[in-house]
Chain A
Amino acid sequence: MNWVTSPVSTRSPGSAPKKRRKMREVWSRIRRDRAAIGGLVTLVLLGLLAIFADQVAPYGYDDQNIPVALTAPGVLLQYPLGTDSLGRDMLSRLIYGARVSFVAGLSATGIATLLGMLLGGIAGFYGGKLDNAIMRCMDILLAVPGILLAIAVAAALGPGLRNAVIAVGTAGLPIFARVIRGSILSVREMEYLEAARAINASDLRLMLKHVFPNVLAPVIVQYTLEVAHAIMEIAALSFLGLGAQPPIPEWGAMISSGRGYLRDYGYMMTMPGLAIMLTVFSVNILGDGLRDALDPRLKH
């Protein structure tokens, strides 16, 4: 092969100017996707609510006012969304709940992504026995339905929001490892990797500078969709009593505490559920839009 004169650049497609251009291209595609922009705007607003919950929320999340307990939404002006069984303002609890759900969902997915990139990266990059061993372990984790795995891990670590986050992260890990391994396998034989190897680049350099930038697209999409998933799973764990403990205003825990008042005070259960739905819905349409923008071939 006439590789001396072949115009193979050691610069991978992930290098700076090209990358910036690609990002601009992706952004311009997303901008035309009205649904995705709607999701993004909603998420930014919810994120701002979460960050500035202390300033925005009219009451603290654990301020009890027993005399007005179980006020329906719209009855009292001071409590536009009503109060729960302890006389706490529903609106304030929902706003603080956004903070809990965002932090928990993002960190659970962060755990899954980091570990998944590490394991899937090693498996895909080195191949062979190591690949086999790692992926068989992932198969084992995949042989148990995700929520059951999360329940088992959460039970072992003990109830609590932090442990629920670790549990949901563990349950999400195998899918990330698979996605990342798959995309690394698809770039592993590329010429720019060979070229970089030819100039004696270290494995670490190859991974960080040449492999990861080129497999980023599926990871970003998977991350976004997994955040939606994680928020729902953490809510489910809290609903079962394995996640956030009272008085933390986690949406799933709020739904759980509304269970006993279902017949007469249904709003205690419906409103946190709507909050989950709005958040997860926004994340999902943003994720769908991102997928279409990053890989237009998949667009439907």
Chain B
Amino acid sequence: MIPVLLGVVLFIFVVLHLAPGDPAREMLGVMAAPEDIENLRNELGLNDPLLLQFVRYIGHVLTGDFGMSYSSRAPVLDALLSRYPATLTLAGMSTLIMVLIGLPIGIISATRQYSLLDRLPTAVALMGVSMPTFWIGMLLVLIFGLHLRWLPASGFSTPIHWILPAFAIGFNAAAICMRMTRSTVLEVIRQDFIRTARSKGQSERRILVHHALKNALIPILTVVGIQLGRNLGGSIVTETVFSIPGLGYYMLQSILARDYPVVQGGVIFIAATFSLVNLGVDLLYAFVDPRIRSQYQAMSKKKTERGVAA
């Protein structure tokens, strides 16, 4: 995880420094004297070799110093921390909506394959994955915010404000989750052990919950994990639609203003969250699947044995 994060930072660092435009010029304006720009570049360390800048940056980040924003001259870390909760809430809420809608519908349509209860949700889900989230968001604003006036169309201050943006991301994600759940459950209920359970005369309910879902859980968990990360990414665009003061909106403005430190910090935040979620999913695997759990146990046993031997 740590090497991957380092790689992400290096990648973003190089990409942003290849970008056209000079942050020093951006800060001082077009009228600035060349000497002033040169001085500022020296002050910001922009004239040093890229590798040196990178190492210095990593060193600072490790001590919790994400640098100063070029445009506001305030510490980047504070600005990111104040905006992070909104983005996390949005991604979390939309993932919740995704699981609450996508999972049950996926299971139902798999168990009732080719019935109306299967065909209708499948068609709706296919439409759902075909709609860009920012467009869904604007449609929701148009219908529920402007015409019906039921819900606020922008901002993120109270839970009522969360509903529309969370649904904008959640709908698309629910469609993906539903499709995945459906195909996984279908795959599992065709297995031999399900037939065995049926022939034993077990109730359909017990078969579904104890035999089918237990085995379908791993791929579903994977999708939920991946999707939580994608919802983080989706919130960048959605925050713009709803003018939510979150990480994504802030990063986008900083990208347009060439405020490198903010963009780098934001990418680190999101990539770290993404990696933590993936780590959490990996740990959950062990929790739901005894086969994987025993692998972990065997590994740690080996480690302790080696430790004893040494």
Contacts and interface: CB of A to CB of B under 8 A. Distances in A.
A153 B275 CA distance: 20
B130 A281 contact: yes
A240 B19 contact: no
Nearest to B255: A155
B141 to A, nearest CB: 7
A78 B278 CA distance: 55
A288 B175 CA distance: 15
B15 A262 contact: no
A222 B135 CA distance: 24
Contacts, number: 130
Interface of A: 136-137, 139-141, 143-148, 151-153, 155-158, 228, 232, 235-236, 239-242, 252, 255, 259, 262-263, 266, 269-270, 273, 276-277, 280-281, 284-285, 288, 298, 300
B126 A146 contact: no
A145 B135 contact: no
A12 to B, nearest CB: 30
A134 to B, nearest CB: 13
Contact of B130 (A240, A266, A280, A298): A280
Contacts of A136: 3-4, 7
Interface string B82-126: 000000000000000000000000000000010000000000001
Give the most central of B130, B233, B255: most A CB within 10 Å: B130
Secondary structure of the A contact surface, majority rule: helix
A158 B142 contact: no
A143 B113 contact: no
Contact of B255 (A139, A152, A276): A152
A262 B183 CA distance: 38
B275 A143 contact: yes
A139 B138 contact: no
Contact of A145 (B113, B141, B146, B233): B233
B234 interface: yes
A298 B7 CA distance: 36
Contacts of A276: 130-132, 135
B132 A284 contact: no
Given A141-B11, A151-B236, A146 B274 contact: no
Contacts of A140: 4, 7-8, 11
Interface in B154-178: none
Nearest to A154: B255
Given A228-B130, A240-B237, A280-B129, 10 more contacts: A136-B3, A141-B11, A143-B271, A145-B270, A151-B236, A156-B15, A252-B134, A255-B135, A259-B138, A273-B132
B18 interface: yes
A140 B14 CA distance: 14
B132 A236 contact: yes
B240 interface: yes
Contacts of A270: 139, 142
B92 to A, nearest CB: 15
Contacts of A145: 229-230, 232-234, 236, 270, 274
B20 interface: yes
Contacts of B19: 155-158
Given A156-B18, A270-B139, A240 B252 contact: yes
B131 A300 contact: no
A269 B240 contact: no
A270 B136 CA distance: 10
B127 A277 contact: yes
Top 3 A-B pairs, shortest CB-CB distance: A145-B233, A140-B7, A273-B135
A262 B20 contact: no
B270 to A, nearest CB: 6
Nearest to A279: B130
B138 A262 contact: yes
Contact of A236 (B7, B134, B229): B134
A148 to B, nearest CB: 5
